[in-house]
Amino acid sequence: MNTFTTRIAGFPYSGAQVSAYIFSIDTFVVSLKNGQVVRHTADDPKLFEQWLRHHGARNINDKVGSMIYNFYFEE
């Protein structure tokens, strides 16, 4: 059952507009498909991240983490 809507409370953009995101401490930095980058502090960060992933937003944290790991530990 799909419980996610096109929009989520407190974030003025639709799921169709999100492209990628990074999360640090308490703030999401979200890249929109139109090239705009916006900051958002969610009341429920886990729910907001689930909503982003549901709408196909890429988690840049994963990419950056693997790049750093590969730089230091790749044989």
71 vs 8: which has the higher pLDDT: 8
Residue pLDDT, tens place only, 4-63: 789 999 999 999 999 999 998 899 999 999 999 999 999 999 999 999 999 999 999 877
| Per-residue pLDDT at 1 | 37
Domain boundaries, the chain: 18-73
Query: For residue 75, is pLDDT > 50?
Result: yes
Q: What is the pTM of this model?
A: 0.81
57 vs 3: which has the higher pLDDT: 57
Q: Quote the CA–CA distance of 69 and 29 in Å, as a whole number.
A: 22
